[in-house]
Structure 1
């Protein structure tokens, strides 16, 4: 049975960013494939992160405005992801005026969605859940977006989060669930930061803790980590994604650094929710036919599993050189093949700012 839940893409990865042309192109792709929203939250935009108090340059603002217009024209909701992390510290809690000013600026874009993203920060802060709840409620009060979303600091059961960002405060998720307006969705990545398979038992348990259905932040096919940057993930979503629609509030995908190659996995997710008999293996062949020229289709049919499982570390120098030459030749007529060649040549190196792999 088809399941109708909000499906979207979050540009939320570390490393080599997409460019404005690619972000614009994505609007049409999302419209054609069955997505409903896009969240602009690149780690490289410091006006949303480390320098969030500062305004965008005139050219950056023009690009954002143009991007918003393209999504509106395509009928795709447009969102902004803001990370005012320092407001969670004792020093920053008295600085709410800056948050209101930033939201007023973002309001000029008339976004459909405003997300407060509190990932990638120290979390061993007293009353962290209450502080983040208050900030989310302030955002809801001052924003003209119709949907407010929150990414908690601890967005998974994965112990790596406590290892990197400090011990999770006691009853953190339960406090969020009790205090946060139920109209505000909470992102969740699953039992792991990068979850391969979601179970119904896990999602039901999370809903109990959060006091609402979790909104999936799906870290497939993202490949920005120390290990994952050495791999390409081109295969469709597994069948578990077709079995959880009644247990989530929505589904957001964090794609790869490789814009064109991300399309193969992205195009499959709406099928998982729409097709009564979803078959990833058969769908992969169909998507290769739709998105790739013939020679590239043959090459990826042969190499996709190797790129995902073995990756760069599983290649000999001779193999890597041969593959680079092959895909560089194919890249003369295909941006997707050119991305494979760039990856093989090390153009997508790991960004050490990504801490959670």
Structure 2
């Protein structure tokens, strides 16, 4: 259901990525992670109970514990209870009929499990029983030397045991005291779980078994088996499973049942089904019968991500016609037959679930009208909210969905799924869902990431919300999820928090890396201290190593491997950038330049780690994007300011970004990289450059389109410039050509240059290069530049561009920088990319050329205290091949 990486782009896919790109750059908002909170006096239970009241009494974990159960005691609840007692220090657990003096007595079972002893024990504690609570509801009482677990049904008792597991301490010996508590609890919505419905490599069998254990521990009761890349669910839906694969599904079904999780089998015939065919209905029912034979009792028919404008057989068009209404009627016909001929005749089967082709928004359409009017009313309809990936979901929207679809709604919430952004981990909490939403729904399912173990952080918060949405706090739940995954190891927990902060942003969590971003903001505002930020960056860079050493959840490490590598490298790069700024501010120019020279390699390493997309492409992973990389860019800008150069222009776009082809790529001086929009330009859309200072404009180059996307350029547009970003001057118009070059009239000065579309178009936009050369800076001499370099790079205001000579200097050769007129010169600084060249630094005044110093190493700063109209470097006879990043005249 989530938009897979397409072989050909779609407007929907582009729109999603555009929103994502905008959201990650948005300011912090409610829902950003708060600082860690201290545990309350009573041990926390997650999900948060509907009611928890501390008592004045207590219970003590004795060496021997008496376990009192009903005749129909739930086996799973007993297993969880006994394991929790042993972990708390009990050495021997015996079955008994009642309390024994000086021994803890634990009562397990509610009315449905024929446990009158539990009812009497609750009464002795002054507590009401679970009667009247909804399915899964329970009472847990601790105090007066006893523990009582009583569910309204067996599932409720199992959930009470999961709560007890969290309340009891971990001790090696008996004697631990447990504070008295009364818990009365029930779920906010009936169905709570996970739908494995992403595109890409399906989870392994071992990962699925592990997930089912996790769902039981977190009181989730639904797992939907719907991996898009299982061919027997889609392309081969009519064919039976091979015996070994069917055996694995049976093992999953059995594990799910033992954890009180309903295993839902979701068959997706929409790619090829003939809705009117009796044979097709029989094939679908037969496939369901095979699955029912191994114990499945919950079934779904997803009809998402298919076309309903093209029929799979001519009989369907003959029967229903064409259009959305016809498709809705055909789908209702098929589903009703399955519902009546299989679900209704199969004892114990739960209500049929379906995913409509129009599975998002609440707009009334002919398709939805047909489905609402013709589909059997007991079928559950799945819905993703107002969008494929809905940033928010409200009570009002859920009511509208129920009305427009005419059925009970089960949400398919596309978080934390990442198949549409497979180079990201989405580790932030479930967010943006209004309190009270759960009560309007038949249930809530979450679509997880391709990475099962890394998904647990977000899924834990989903479980908290679905159980008790009115008490849900995203930050508190996120903290609890990190703590649980760290297994009680404080160092691992802190490292996991630091690492996860850099993958916090998503459509549901607007701020990326909220904690680290706040520290960067504090530093740049002047209120922060470099030492504190330095320690934070050291901690960030060290976090992957700590996790690899100490995190108990080893599957997370495998899932996150390239992101861990990238985070470690970003830690080194950002710390180097900070050291560079501090050295420059302290006047240690040579040290600052040496650190800056390291940054390209460090950032390249941070960006070098990759993962595979569902379509097989290799993609660079993203960690803290928009925060870590922006800090380095800001640090370079600060170094430029302190050194006295404007630096590389900053590129921007009013359009979104497709994948990781960011606006910065059109200003990086490399024609092989490019900015790629995520939508087609409309009139007024633009791409632009901030030159960082008002200066005279030289030649402007706008190179658009690329191989395979030759039409992705602005077809009708204008070049404009501005000194303030508000008032714009038209330079020239262009039409029908992907490459535009223009030289403004002499004396044209501006800080901002942009290319603006003047008409709407269908094609997206690719910009390989958008550059402006400076006027008034004249670099002459030699040696001649190497291929791909230029003399002007030695004094273009950007230390990141380098004049690289093609050879060593010949006798008498020099490199001359004209200043465009006579001006006061207080100093000349030469930044070299290598330290091998030697030269005499000279200035030209009315009296001719005179020497003011010698070029020594990669960084040279010599005082001028004169007026001059040019500076030159007269190369030494023993000079190596020159590589000059910038000649700076102040």
1:137 corresponds, among 336, 341, 345, to 336
Point out where structure 2 has 5 or more consecutive residues left out of the alignment: 1-49, 51-186, 311-321, 506-511, 514-537, 567-608, 618-677, 679-890
Task: Confirm whether residue 238 of structure 1 aligns to residue 238 of structure 2.
Answer: no
Instruction: State whether residues 47 and 54 of structure 1, in contact with CA within 8 Å, keep that contact through their aligned partners in structure 2.
Output: yes
Task: Confirm whether residue 335 of structure 1 aligns to residue 536 of structure 2.
Answer: no
Q: Give the structure, 1 or 2, with the largest relative contact order (CA under 8 Å, sep 6 or more).
A: 1
Distance 1:157 1:277, change over 3 A: closer
Distance 1:31 1:224, change over 3 A: same
Query: What's the CA shift string for 1:208-237, capped at 9, x where partnerless?
Result: 111123210000000011xx2122122221
Aligned to 1:252: 445
1:306 corresponds, among 493, 499, 502, to 502
Task: Confirm whether residue 201 of structure 1 aligns to residue 408 of structure 2.
Answer: no
Between the aligned partners of 1:174 and 1:50, the Cα distance in structure 2 is 29
Distance 1:283 1:183, change over 3 A: same
Tell me, what secondary structure is at the counterpart of 2:435? Answer: helix
Q: Which has the higher strand share?
A: 2
Tell me, what secondary structure is at the counterpart of 1:242? Answer: coil
Query: Could you tell me how far 1:338 is from its partner in structure 2?
Result: 2.7
**Range with greater deviation from structure 2 (86-95 or 12-21):** 86-95
Name the count of aligned residue pairs. 335
Distance 1:53 1:274, change over 3 A: same
Aligned to 1:63: 248
Between the aligned partners of 1:276 and 1:158, the Cα distance in structure 2 is 24
Q: Which has the higher helix share?
A: 1
Instruction: State whether residues 27 and 70 of structure 1, in contact with CA within 8 Å, keep that contact through their aligned partners in structure 2.
Output: yes
Between the aligned partners of 1:324 and 1:301, the Cα distance in structure 2 is 9
Between the aligned partners of 1:222 and 1:14, the Cα distance in structure 2 is 9
Task: Confirm whether residue 38 of structure 1 aligns to residue 242 of structure 2.
Answer: no
Tell me, what secondary structure is at the counterpart of 1:50? Answer: coil
Task: Confirm whether residue 100 of structure 1 aligns to residue 320 of structure 2.
Answer: no
Task: Confirm whether residue 189 of structure 1 aligns to residue 395 of structure 2.
Answer: no
Task: Confirm whether residue 73 of structure 1 aligns to residue 258 of structure 2.
Answer: yes
Query: Could you tell me how far 1:92 is from its partner in structure 2?
Result: 6.1
Query: Could you tell me how far 1:66 is from its partner in structure 2?
Result: 1.1
Tell me, what secondary structure is at the counterpart of 1:4? Answer: coil
**The structure with more radius of gyration:** 2
Query: Could you tell me how far 1:94 is from its partner in structure 2?
Result: 5.8
Between the aligned partners of 1:88 and 1:352, the Cα distance in structure 2 is 28
Distance 1:330 1:50, change over 3 A: farther
Query: Could you tell me how far 1:77 is from its partner in structure 2?
Result: 0.9
Query: What's the CA shift string for 1:63-105, capped at 9, x where partnerless?
Result: 0111111111122111100001145557867633322322222
Distance 1:158 1:89, change over 3 A: farther
Instruction: State whether residues 192 and 221 of structure 2, in contact with CA within 8 Å, keep that contact through their aligned partners in structure 1.
Output: yes
Between the aligned partners of 2:436 and 2:236, the Cα distance in structure 1 is 40
Aligned to 2:493: 297
Between the aligned partners of 1:241 and 1:200, the Cα distance in structure 2 is 6
Q: CA RMSD in A?
A: 3.0
**Range with greater deviation from structure 2 (92-101 or 258-267):** 92-101
Instruction: State whether residues 411 and 443 of structure 2, in contact with CA within 8 Å, keep that contact through their aligned partners in structure 1.
Output: yes
Distance 1:303 1:282, change over 3 A: same
Tell me, what secondary structure is at the counterpart of 1:3? Answer: coil
Query: What's the CA shift string for 1:259-297, capped at 9, x where partnerless?
Result: 111111111123224265322112212221111254442
Between the aligned partners of 1:205 and 1:158, the Cα distance in structure 2 is 6
Between the aligned partners of 2:232 and 2:209, the Cα distance in structure 1 is 20
Query: Could you tell me how far 1:328 is from its partner in structure 2?
Result: 8.0
1:280 corresponds, among 474, 489, 494, to 474
Query: Could you tell me how far 1:8 is from its partner in structure 2?
Result: 1.3
Between the aligned partners of 2:469 and 2:406, the Cα distance in structure 1 is 30
Query: What's the CA shift string for 1:126-184, capped at 9, x where partnerless?
Result: 3111111122122222243322101011101399xxxxxxxx9x511121111111110
Tell me, what secondary structure is at the counterpart of 2:210? Answer: helix
Task: Confirm whether residue 224 of structure 1 aligns to residue 419 of structure 2.
Answer: yes
Query: What's the CA shift string for 1:229-253, capped at 9, x where partnerless?
Result: 1221222212525331122111111
Aligned to 2:306: 121
Aligned to 2:201: 16
Instruction: State whether residues 250 and 295 of structure 2, in contact with CA within 8 Å, keep that contact through their aligned partners in structure 1.
Output: no
Instruction: State whether residues 331 and 337 of structure 1, in contact with CA within 8 Å, keep that contact through their aligned partners in structure 2.
Output: no
**Range with greater deviation from structure 2 (292-301 or 324-333):** 324-333
Between the aligned partners of 2:438 and 2:327, the Cα distance in structure 1 is 30
Between the aligned partners of 2:306 and 2:546, the Cα distance in structure 1 is 39
Q: TM-score scaled by structure 2?
A: 0.35
Between the aligned partners of 1:329 and 1:238, the Cα distance in structure 2 is 29
Tell me, what secondary structure is at the counterpart of 2:503? Answer: helix
Instruction: State whether residues 129 and 175 of structure 1, in contact with CA within 8 Å, keep that contact through their aligned partners in structure 2.
Output: yes
Query: Could you tell me how far 1:188 is from its partner in structure 2?
Result: 0.2
Distance 1:177 1:196, change over 3 A: same
Distance 1:290 1:86, change over 3 A: closer
Aligned to 2:132: none
Instruction: State whether residues 189 and 439 of structure 2, in contact with CA within 8 Å, keep that contact through their aligned partners in structure 1.
Output: no
Distance 1:70 1:123, change over 3 A: same
Distance 1:171 1:276, change over 3 A: closer
Instruction: State whether residues 499 and 544 of structure 2, in contact with CA within 8 Å, keep that contact through their aligned partners in structure 1.
Output: no
Distance 1:329 1:269, change over 3 A: closer
Distance 1:285 1:53, change over 3 A: same
Tell me, what secondary structure is at the counterpart of 2:194? Answer: strand
**Range with greater deviation from structure 2 (251-260 or 302-311):** 302-311
Query: Could you tell me how far 1:24 is from its partner in structure 2?
Result: 1.0
2:615 corresponds, among 340, 347, 351, to 351
Point out where structure 1 has 5 or more consecutive residues left out of the alignment: 160-167, 312-318
Query: Could you tell me how far 1:12 is from its partner in structure 2?
Result: 0.8
Aligned to 1:152: 356
Tell me, what secondary structure is at the counterpart of 1:229? Answer: coil
Between the aligned partners of 1:232 and 1:267, the Cα distance in structure 2 is 15
